[in-house]
Structure formats: C-alpha cells, structure tokens
C-alpha cells in the first residue's frame, strides 16, 4: 500500500471521442519491456468489440479486455469492457454494473479514483482526447494522493474538451503532444518524479 | 406490510395500485444513482478499518453478511449513503445504522440492488436459444434458478424466451434475491416505460421474432408485463452468502452478481451452484465473469465460452 522505492506501479488512461487513434499512438509508443500494467477506460458503445484487436496490432505488449477479478500483471494492457465500470483492487480488478457516472459506464473517474486508493503515489494518470469532462476529478485525486498526471496537449487532440478540462483541474499535470506521451511514460516509469509545475497553493 | 401490498397487487389493478407501483419504481430508479466520488483527503487505511468494523457490526447485529464483498465497489456504495445522510465518516454511518433499523433497510437496498436490463447482452440470449434450448427440449420438466435476480429484468427476459420456444409450460423459474424489496418490485411486473426502446432493441438482437410490445401494457408511468410470464415463476428470498441449496436445477443463471463478491465468496457460491445442478446442468455467468479465477474450472466444460455458458461435467 505504501510508496514503492522502485517507482510507479500502475498507469491508468482515460479517453473518449477520438480515442481509437489516440490509444494506438499511445500504446504503440510504449517499449516492449515497459514493465508496468496499463489500465484503459475508453468510452464506447456496447457492441464495439474490435478495440483490443486494433490495439494489439500496434504493440508487443499483451492487450485484453478485463475479466472480473483478473490479476494485475506487469506489462499488460487492460481494457475496460463496454457497459461495465472497471475498478482497481489490491492486486486485481473488479467490474461493476452500477449506474453510469455522469452518463458514462465505464467511467474514467471511477477507475482513477479506485486506482488512487490502491496505488497512492505509485500511480500515473493519463487523460487523452474526448468530448466531456470525465477523468478530471479522478486525475485531481491521483495528484492529491501524490501520483503523477499526464494530459494530452489539447492542440493535438481530436476533441480538445476532455484534456482541456483535465489540465484546468490539474495544473500540475504534464501536458504533452500525443506522440510524446508513450516515450515520456517509459522514461519516468522507474523513478517517481515531481509534478511538471509547482503544486497548487 | 410487504405481504399486504402483495395482496393488494393480486387484486384487480386499480389506479391506486398503479400509483403505488409507479412511485416505487421511481424510487428504485432514483436509487440506481452513480458511484459517488469519495472524499479526496480521507485517510485510506483508517477508512478500511472503519469499513470492516461497520460490516462486522451489521453482520453481528442484523445478520446480513457483506464482509466478503469486493472492497472498492462496496466502499463506494457505502459513501453514497454516508453523503445522502449528510455524514462525514464511515464510523458515523456505523453509529446510525446500528441504532436505526430503518436506516439499515435503506442501506440494504444500497448494497444489494444490482443494475441490469432486459435481454442484457443479447448475444447471450441468442446463444441460449440456439444452444441451450435444444438441450432443454430433452427434459420433461425444467427447473431454472435465477440467483440474485434483483428487480427481475432478466427473469422476464427468460420467461419470454421460454414461451417463444414452447418450453414455458414445462418450466419453473425460481427467482431469488437477498432483498425483499427488489423481489417485490420484480413480482409487480412493472418496468420504466422509457426503457422499452432499449429493451426492444435488445430483444430483437437476442433473436426475438415478435413485436416486443405484445408483452406489456403501457401505463402512464410504466410498462406492465403480462401476468402469463410469471405464472411459472416463484419469487423467493434467498441469501447466496448464508443459505444453502434448495433444489436441483437444469439451469442456473447468475449473471453480474458475483462481480460484487471477493474471490473467497465466489468460490463458496460456486460450491453451492455445483451442488445445485443436475449432472450436465448448465451454469450461465455474466459476459466478463470467468471460472478461471475460481477453484471450479475443472468441474465444467464450456458450451459457449464467449457467452459464458458452462456445462457441469457428469
């Protein structure tokens, strides 16, 4: 539960409209030996089944939709199944069919919030393109617990609203163009780094 | 009190009955609100201690055992109640709940209502029609157990499917839940009218060949489903955590119920299911539930791995 000397232990990613292409760039930018588990919430319709295959095409990391109580393993990409909330527990994931949160199921905030409970300062949160404000509260929570925040530069986002809202809620977030996010995560994964800007007053 | 209401419901449906049911349906809908944000600065390790103390107290005082529920979702459901009561700590909720049985009833609803839909995951019902129904035709009498049926959406879905396949008259569906209030609502057969469009789409995608609206009567605030659908349904309270087996079943459906349980409790419930299925009986789980993380993988073979339909080996 406490902070780990080795560095971060989990990356959580939230993305909405424009997400497929953004996720392919992000995941494709992670090295084969990335070594951290990556959990992704992408807002999508109930019958979109191809997301994992399309992501798998562009990475050597294993990509899969989460099954309930699935163990967290390093270097694997976990995608929230459509129509379920994805929650982090200590060492595994749980799913929930509780009502949508601010119209979303899966909800980015629910994943970020639950992961922050489990991983505290050992967590990296990433908010990418999207047309709503999901993820802002969860990212704020991650940074309040000592974790690290990355937001896609809204100028490089297909839809800028979600990264804009996240950057506003979390001024400490490191704002990066999409194609720089994967390499940045790879460069910081082994050591905890301070926020990009000074902590808020 | 619950029984009086049930009797009133047996009588011919007057406007008063409908108002009561519609109000109840509205209340149940209002309950299905989202997982709340928990306070950002709450000390996490203390919170875990408080949650464990609360659940232990509820178990010892009221007998409801939520101690083996998945932590991160039950915690969020507790916070919803804490915020609704205007409280600030888990311990404050413990104080209130242990001294106020009425609040315990509210909390029981918060913790035990599972949200679902008619023909949720249409692919499952399609697979049930094409792969399970032919097996069921070989039995003279069919017992189906919907374990954790909540407000009944999937029970009515199964009843419709069995009627259309000509199997309903030789079937009995046992629909159970820990919670009397949701069972009562399931029994009423009234579902939100605004859901009918979604349910109709699900029904068609699930292989339904009729007009879905044949199955209900639209009222001003709800869709009342045909009484013929529940003729062979037995609604009954049953607690998966503490109660044992009560019959032998050809099919057990328990979809997206055990996702709220931790792995130990999942294993205990699987023990109960394995003991409650006839040889070669069928177990149907939710789309993202797996036997892989349980001790029961060896006891079943997959009839349809994608739709999570498993057959007990011998």
Residues 6+ apart with CB under 8 A from B305: none
Per-residue model confidence (pLDDT) at position A93: 97
Higher pLDDT, B274 or B296: B274
The closest CB to that of A87, out of B34, B73, B263, belongs to B73
Position B1 pLDDT exceeds 90: no
**In chain B, which residue's Cα lies nearest the Cα of A103?**
B34
Query: How far is the alpha carbon of A48 from chain B, nearest alpha carbon, in Å?
Result: 12
Q: Which of A114, A116, A134, A136 is catalytic?
A: A134
* B260 contacts A89? CB cut-off 8 A: no
What's the token pair of residue A30?
């992670």
Respond yes or no: is residue A16 known to be catalytic. yes
* Cα–Cα distance, B23 to B38 (Å, whole number): 29
Judged by a CB distance cut-off of 8 A, whether residue A112 touches chain B is: no
Judged by a CB distance cut-off of 8 A, whether residue A49 touches chain B is: no
What average pLDDT is seen over chain A?
A: 91
* B288 contacts A65? CB cut-off 8 A: yes
Mean pLDDT score, B19-41: 57
Mean pLDDT score, A90-119: 93
Per-residue model confidence (pLDDT) at position A187: 93
Q: For testing the chain A interface, which of B44, B70, B81, B90 should be mutated: the one with the most A CBs within 10 Å?
A: B70
Classify the C-alpha dihedral B7-B13-B18-B21 as positive or negative.
positive
Mean pLDDT score, B17-28: 53
Position A94 pLDDT exceeds 50: yes
* Cα–Cα distance, B284 to B128 (Å, whole number): 9
The closest CB to that of B293, out of A69, A102, A145, belongs to A69
Per-residue model confidence (pLDDT) at position B223: 96
CB-defined contacts A:B, below 8 A: 93
The model's confidence at residue A102, banded by pLDDT at 50, 70 and 90, is confident
Give B12's DSSP letter: -
Higher pLDDT, B92 or B41: B92
Per-residue model confidence (pLDDT) at position B36: 64
pTM of structure = 0.87
pLDDT in tens, B217-262: 999 879 999 999 999 999 999 999 989 999 999 999 999 999 999 9
Mean pLDDT score, B175-196: 94
Per-residue model confidence (pLDDT) at position B112: 85
Pair A64, A39: CB distance under 8 Å:
no
- Looking only at the bridges linking them, the beta strands covering B142-147 and A148-152 are unpaired
Higher pLDDT, B19 or B181: B181
Query: What percentage of residues in chain B have a pLDDT greater than 70?
Result: 88
* B293 contacts A70? CB cut-off 8 A: yes
Per-residue model confidence (pLDDT) at position A50: 86
Position B7 pLDDT exceeds 50: no
Per-residue model confidence (pLDDT) at position B27: 53
Per-residue model confidence (pLDDT) at position B14: 46
Per-residue model confidence (pLDDT) at position B197: 95
Per-residue model confidence (pLDDT) at position B115: 84
* A89 contacts B288? CB cut-off 8 A: no
The model's confidence at residue A143, banded by pLDDT at 50, 70 and 90, is very high
Q: For testing the chain A interface, which of B43, B45, B73, B296 should be mutated: the one with the most A CBs within 10 Å?
A: B73
Query: How far is the alpha carbon of A29 from chain B, nearest alpha carbon, in Å?
Result: 28
- Kindly report the three-state secondary structure assignment for every residue of A142-161: HHHCCCEEEEECHHHCCCCH
What ipTM was predicted for this assembly? 0.86
Judged by a CB distance cut-off of 8 A, whether residue A140 touches chain B is: yes
Judged by a CB distance cut-off of 8 A, whether residue A124 touches chain B is: no
pLDDT in tens, A41-61: 999 877 677 899 999 999 999
Angle (CA) B132 B265 B312, round 5°: 25
């Amino acid at each position: 539960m406490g902070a780990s000397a080795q560095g971060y232990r989990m990356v959580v990613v939230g993305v909405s409209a424009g997400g497929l292409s953004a996720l392919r760039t992000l995941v494709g930018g992670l090295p084969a030996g990335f070594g951290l588990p990556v959990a992704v919430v992408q807002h999508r319709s109930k019958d979109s089944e191809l997301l994992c295959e399309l992501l798998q095409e562009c990475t050597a990391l294993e990509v899969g939709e989460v099954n309930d109580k699935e163990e967290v393993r390093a270097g694997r990409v976990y995608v929230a199944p459509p129509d379920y909330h994805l929650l982090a527990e200590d060492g595994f994931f749980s799913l929930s069919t509780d009502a949508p949160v601010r119209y979303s199921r899966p909800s980015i905030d629910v994943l970020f919030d639950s992961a922050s409970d489990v991983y505290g300062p050992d967590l990296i949160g990433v908010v990418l393109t999207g047309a709503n404000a999901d993820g802002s509260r969860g990212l704020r929570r991650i940074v309040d617990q000592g974790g690290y925040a990355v937001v896609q530069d809204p100028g490089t986002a297909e839809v800028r609203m979600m990264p804009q809202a996240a950057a506003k809620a979390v001024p400490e977030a490191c704002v990066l163009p999409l194609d720089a996010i994967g390499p940045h995560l790879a460069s910081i994964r082994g050591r905890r780094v301070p926020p990009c800007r000074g902590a808020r007053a | 009190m619950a029984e009086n209401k049930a009797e009133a419901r047996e009588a011919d449906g007057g406007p008063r009955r409908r108002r009561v049911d519609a109000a109840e349906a509205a209340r149940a809908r209002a309950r299905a609100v989202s997982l709340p944000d928990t306070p950002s600065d709450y000390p996490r390790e203390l919170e875990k201690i408080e949650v464990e103390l609360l659940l232990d107290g509820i178990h010892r005082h009221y007998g409801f055992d939520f101690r083996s529920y998945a932590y991160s979702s039950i915690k969020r459901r507790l916070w919803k109640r804490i915020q609704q009561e205007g409280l600030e700590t888990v311990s404050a909720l413990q104080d209130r709940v242990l001294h106020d049985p009425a609040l315990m009833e509210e909390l029981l609803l918060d913790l035990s209502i599972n949200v679902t839909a008619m023909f949720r995951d249409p692919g499952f019902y399609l697979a049930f029609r094409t792969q399970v129904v032919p097996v069921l035709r070989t039995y003279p009498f069919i017992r189906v157990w919907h374990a954790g049926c909540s407000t009944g959406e999937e029970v009515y879905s199964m009843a419709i499917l069995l009627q259309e396949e000509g199997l309903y008259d030789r079937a009995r569906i046992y629909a159970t839940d820990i919670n009397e209030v949701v069972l009562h609502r399931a029994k009423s057969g009234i579902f939100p009218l605004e859901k009918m469009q979604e349910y109709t789409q699900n029904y068609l995608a699930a292989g339904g060949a009729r007009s879905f609206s044949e199955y209900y009567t639209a009222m001003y605030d709800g869709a009342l489903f045909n009484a013929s659908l529940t003729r062979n349904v037995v609604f009954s309270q049953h607690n998966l955590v503490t109660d044992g087996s009560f019959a032998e079943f050809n099919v057990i459906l328990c979809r997206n119920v055990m996702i709220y349980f931790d792995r130990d409790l999942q294993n205990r419930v699987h023990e109960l299911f394995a003991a409650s299925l006839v040889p070669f009986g069928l177990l149907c789980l939710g789309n993202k539930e797996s036997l892989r993380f349980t001790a029961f993988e060896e006891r079943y073979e997959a009839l349809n791995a994608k739709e999570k339909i498993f057959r007990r080996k011998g």
